[in-house]
Amino acid sequence: MNYSNIRSFIHKEGYIFVGCSLGIALICLLFSSTLFWIFLVLTMCFFFFFRNPSRVVPLDKNLIVSPVCGTVCSIAFDVPPEELDLGNEKRYRVSIFLSLVDVHVNRSPADGKVKKILYSPGKYIDAGIEKSSLFNERNTVVIEINNDPSNLMSFSQIAGTLARRIVCDVHEGENLSKGEVYGIIKFGSRSDIWLPINSVPLVCVGQKVISGETILCDMSLVDVSLRDGVIVP
């Protein structure tokens, strides 16, 4: 289902949390104003966490956008894991950390067809630590950008210390639109994005990014070459 076409204030995974806490608050109103306010505040917290704000998505098909909101915590230049089938050439990986106050709804960074979805069970190390990319529970989507089988990228949902549930609503063979909601990670997490081959990141470590809006790279920038992770003319 294409959730990007549904006007929703919160992600569907938040319905039960918001509904139950609000229901309990209304029941508590009958006998305890203190408990009413406690559960009402809890309802507002759930509503805030599962919020699904509208995004202005760049239309240029050469632009790859961030799939998540958060802070860029790492940029690496390496060979992607073999199981992703992204090839043996080095490419950039952008890692983004999501705190509890960031929007946790995940959006597709590009138009494309889902080639592969890989789920790996694992640990729940602090998502801000580099080794969490290798050892934590994660779900990775590989897409053919603009339905071009030769142009691949991947983006992962990685669990953290508090994030114990990864939700992915797409399947292999489905098409994704840039900015389309495809899942959510509950309560603090990380995302690793392996950019298209020869693409150069347009973000830096420490930068705040917005899902569906912040541009991670521009595939049309072909006037640079990559050598050992260094951009040269």
| Catalytic residue positions, numbered | 189
- Number of CB atoms found within 10 A of residue 101's CB: 11
Contact 126/161 with Cβ under 8 angstroms? yes
* Angle formed by the axes of helices 15-28 and 33-49, nearest 10°: 170
* Residue found under tokens 């992204």: 86
Query: CA 122, CA 201: separation in Å to the nearest integer?
Result: 28
- For 127-180, the DSSP string reads TTSTTHHHHB-EEEEEEEETT-TT-EEEEEEEE-SS--EEEE---TT-EE-TT-
- For 209-231, the DSSP string reads E-TTTSEEEETT--S-EEETTEE
Q: Which two tokens stand for residue 195?
A: 């950019």
Query: CA 94, CA 165: separation in Å to the nearest integer?
Result: 22
